[in-house]
Structure 1
Amino acid sequence: MQQIFVQQRLTPNQDLVLEGTSFRHLIKVLRLHVNDYFWIVDKQQQTFQAQITTINSDNFQVHLQTLHRSNCELPVTSIIACSLSKKDKLDWITQKATELGAQQIVFFRSRYSIMKWAPTIVPKKLDHLQQIALSAAQQSHRLQVPQVKYYATLAELIKSQNADYQLVAYEQMAQEQKKGALADIFQQLQAGQSLMCLFGPEGGFAVEEIRQLRQNKYKLCGLGPRILRAETAPLYFLSALSYQTELEKELTN
């Protein structure tokens, strides 16, 4: 069943008129008809089943019913912060990280970043990535849309972002650790806590960047014995986090 988000609070048995993007997507593109159903998630993450009652030339009306749906959000707040990568990798990371449950998706410029964003294009880039996150959240039936952010420097990210656990994926740690810091921290995680992990670009982090991160209480961790691509590493991290918190430990709020 299709799903959309609305930026308002809804109530059971409410009749609601939808237009604009919702009308174009559901009526014009997907060709839903009168009496068809879809999901609506409101600003408070309440879920309603909407039945189409009327379709007009530029809007349509629905009737809302409250139906219980299991919570599909991770029990911990997960934040991934990725250095700018080349080509369409940022689109890929945003889409897949949303499907895997990230609550925030952060991009930043590091020393070895191949991609550069001029200040004038940042709003357009973020709007594009936020739309990808919205579409992925609707497709995967998330109850929230991850927020996409950008920082022009690593120092700016360190100053602005924080979490209960702050990690940086560093390939050398995979060679030095057997079990590794990542598994240890996953074992310590409690429901409701937050976890952020930083990922470098294709060329990795510079030594001075690692020093800067360690000085700001970031812990280095490996992601297994293999070297992962820049776009693969955050998805590995989120998949492992999902397994640990939703299947292995079954953390509950």
Structure 2
Amino acid sequence: MRRFFYAINSDNYDHKSEQFCRPRLGSLPIGNDVELPDSIVHHWCRVLRANIGDQGILFDGFGGEYQVQLQTISKKHATVTLLAHISDDRSAPIISKIGLVMSRGDRMDYAIQKATELGVTAIQLLSSHHGEVSLKPSQVDKKLHHWQQIAIAACEQCGLNRPPLILTPQPITQWLNTDTASLTVDDAVSPTMVALSQDPYYQVLNHQADIRLQMSVPATGQPLMPEALLVVLKQDVPYIELLIGPEGGLSNDESAQAKHSGFAPWQIGARVLRTETAPLVALATLHALSR
């Protein structure tokens, strides 16, 4: 059954009443009709050639999802009837934010897509001294939207109903600077995600993590895993931050700053992982250790 993300975004904001005009799916009773946004009409009704009576799933990111049936289809509009609410929350039992130095092209798309499938909560985009990508101000909005859509599409495919937040790029030195107030998640997301970022589930990201880990290359005499990690993973819903550098690694100054900011080195095995592989290995390992 096709799944679609029903975004509550800034395009639906009524500045006079300071409320979002498009209702949250979770606030609507079974049997109500809902008008679909253009993006879903285009994909479901035009590209996939859906017909009246076809069923699908809508989720808005606030938890759970709805089974729906296409009720009307016109040239530019379509409506669905809410048939049933499915309360399953398939989010990972760990709140995780990855500070990920941006890489080029498909490698970055791959890292975001697979990290989403493995349940990451947010990805903070970073630039660094040895990084391959440094976006111009005119490129930021377009790339942020692109990467957020990669994450949403991965959610639609894999069954997650809370998409991760992709956070606007920052220099790694700024993100690590504990003396500088960081942007809140509300300020750092694309317009599509502003309303969703205000949900309590995501507001946890504004608080201090229970542990901060830097994916590290193998080093003699360095412990494989911080002892505190296993303790943190015993908490009900631990919040873990991960820092993943570029292919060339962090500079000496960046590594020193990460250590000063509380990032403990964590090396998984004796191999050096690519920057798009490291998030997947780290997330999969965390979930395995938390069981």
Task: State the TM-score, normalizing by the size of structure 1.
Answer: 0.88
Work out the CA distance in 1 between the residues paired with 2:142 and 2:37.
24
Work out the CA distance in 1 between the residues paired with 2:224 and 2:126.
29
State the SS of the aligned residue for 2:146: helix
Work out the CA distance in 1 between the residues paired with 2:136 and 2:35.
40
CA shift, 1:192, in A, is 2.3
CA shift, 1:120, in A, is 2.1
Pick aligned residue for 1:224 from 251, 258, 269: 269
- Equivalent AA in structure 2 for residue 46 of structure 1: G
Aligned residue for 2:52?
34
Pick aligned residue for 1:171 from 208, 217, 239: 217
Percent of residue pairs identical = 30
Q: How does 1:1-253 map to 2 (within 5 A)?
A: 1-6=1-6, 7=8, 8-10=23-25, 11=28, 12-159=30-177, 160=182, 162-173=208-219, 175-177=220-222, 179-181=224-226, 185-189=229-233, 190-245=235-290, 249=291
- Equivalent AA in structure 2 for residue 195 of structure 1: I
CA shift, 1:78, in A, is 0.9
Work out the CA distance in 2 between the residues paired with 1:103 and 1:228.
22
Work out the CA distance in 2 between the residues paired with 1:114 and 1:46.
38
Work out the CA distance in 2 between the residues paired with 1:87 and 1:21.
24
User: Residue deviations 1:13-70, cap 9 Å, x none?
Assistant: 2111214111001111122222211111135223110011222222222111234353
CA shift, 1:187, in A, is 4.7
Q: Contact (CA 8 Å) 1:164, 1:193: kept in 2 or not? A: yes
Q: Which runs of 4+ in 1 moved over 4 A?
A: none
State the SS of the aligned residue for 2:142: helix
Q: Contact (CA 8 Å) 1:169, 1:222: kept in 2 or not? A: yes
Any gaps of 5 or more consecutive residues in structure 2?
A: 9-22, 183-205
CA shift, 1:177, in A, is 4.8
- Equivalent AA in structure 1 for residue 215 of structure 2: A
Q: Contact (CA 8 Å) 2:140, 2:169: kept in 1 or not? A: no
State the SS of the aligned residue for 1:152: strand
Stretch deviating more after TM superposition (105-114 or 183-192) = 183-192
Work out the CA distance in 1 between the residues paired with 2:230 and 2:67.
35
CA shift, 1:242, in A, is 2.5
Q: Contact (CA 8 Å) 1:18, 1:59: kept in 2 or not? A: yes
CA shift, 1:114, in A, is 2.1
Stretch deviating more after TM superposition (137-146 or 159-168) = 159-168
Task: State the TM-score, normalizing by the size of structure 2.
Answer: 0.77
State the SS of the aligned residue for 2:130: coil
- Equivalent AA in structure 2 for residue 45 of structure 1: G
- Equivalent AA in structure 2 for residue 13 of structure 1: G
